[in-house]
Structure 1
Amino acid sequence: MTPRSLLIVILRVLGIILLRALALSATELVSSVWYIFYYGISGSDVLFGVFITLIHILIVLALGYWLIFKTEILIDKFGLDKGFSETVFQFNINSRSIIQMGLIIAGAVILFWELPELVKNIYTTWQKNYMAGLTIPPKTDWSPVCVSVVRIILALLIIGERKRIIDFLVKENKNDPFRPENSSDLRSR
């Protein structure tokens, strides 16, 4: 594996991990919009929060797009593959396996961070209802619980559908150094 192909894999994995931030921001946006419509709240503070979340989503989308799909342009633009003393690194792992590990790690990070958050949100909502002396008041805010559930579902989908995600991310190209039949050529050089 050449330094360039290793950098391509590393940058793509970083882009996949960055998608975690996209999933979190998207669920925050849905929660904010739901909060506005559910409670009928309007005002510059609420709209400013939605606006900032949209800007964050756009920045993360742009970074993720460049890291995943325009990796070679980034490497050429910043000269990331220059200055290595080795022309070939000896690895026996292909890029699909590395991206698969990145997806599993990204999904696991979302899952492990969100499970305690779900328990906390359920407890907090229950505590608010208990303190009010009502079992389920008409305006109980279940949006944090719903957002946590959506994030957990997204994490499980990332882990469960990783093969389809990899097929989408890794384009089949006969000259691609990441193809299994071409990676053996890289090891022999």
Structure 2
Amino acid sequence: MTKRDFFRIIIKLFGLYSMILTLFNFIPSNISNFVMYKEELWFIFIVLGSMFLTVALFLILLFKTDFIIDKLGLDKGYDENIIILGDFKNEQIFKFALILIAGFLIVDNFPRVLFEMINIFKTKSSSNSIYGYEVDYFNFIVGIVNIIIGLFLIANYKILSAYLDKK
């Protein structure tokens, strides 16, 4: 693997990770803030502007990796042009990263979804919920979506890694 390929993989993985964080952490947390600040025009502009910037950053990192490597000169100044990582190829590194990101999505959201399910069941079966805690349906749905996306990434990691490995 050349230095350029290594930096291409790192930049694309960082772009994918930033997209996942934007979609599943930033957007849901700001959607719940729209309820409080729905009449504040400045808040809407700030949230939409920051979402636009993060999506633009994701698209640049994913589709303009060679431009970034050229402008920053990341592959210049090394003694050798080749990195030896054993038998790993680009697509195998992408597969590993996709499985790792999907695992984080599932492991991070499963306890929250389970807790919300227990709380919903307790609320429906009796007149009260867990002491001091209300059912948060929005976070429950966001957690379920995150788990489904994680399962989707695990189920389709070969197809996605082949797509990410395109030059």
What TM bracket, shorter-length normalisation? 0.7 to 0.9
Alignment equivalent of 2:40, drawn from 41, 44, 57: 44
Residues 122, 15 of structure 1: alpha-carbon distance in 2 compared, 3 angstrom cutoff: same
Matched residues, number: 159
Considering only aligned residues, what root-mean-square deviation do their CA atoms show, in Å?
3.2
TM-score by length of structure 1 reads 0.68
Residue 64 of structure 1 corresponds to which residue in structure 2? 58
8 A Cα contact 2:116 2:136, kept in partner: no
Work out which of the residue numbers 47, 68, 86 in structure 1 matches 2:80. 86
Paired residue secondary structure (1:22)? helix
- The letter for the 2-side match of 1:9 is I
Residues of 2 paired with 1:121 and 1:32: CA distance?
17
- Cα distance, 1:79 vs structure 2: 0.8
Would you say 1:157 and 2:152 are equivalent positions?
A: yes
Residue 13 of structure 2 corresponds to residue 5 of structure 1? no
Distance 1:149 1:51, change over 3 A: farther
Supply the AA of the counterpart residue of 1:13: L
Show the counterpart of 2:110. 115
Gaps of 5+ in 1: 177-189
Against the structure 1 CA distance between its residues 51 and 42, is the aligned structure 2 distance closer, same or farther, given a 3 Å change threshold? same
Gaps of 5+ in 2: 130-134
Relative to structure 1, is the Cα distance of residues 116 and 70 closer, same or farther in structure 2, using a 3 angstrom cutoff?
Answer: same
Task: Work out the percentage of aligned pairs sharing the same amino acid.
Answer: 25
Question: What is the TM-score when the length of structure 2 is the normalising length?
Answer: 0.76
CA gap 1:115/1:54 in 2 versus in 1, 3 angstroms: farther
State the shift of 1:123 in Å: 5.1
Measure how far apart 1:124 and its partner are.
Answer: 5.6
1:75 shift after superposition:
0.6
Distance 1:9 1:42, change over 3 A: closer
Q: Which has the larger radius of gyration?
A: 1
* AA at the equivalent of 1:7: F
Partner of 1:186: none
Match of 2:140 in 1: 145
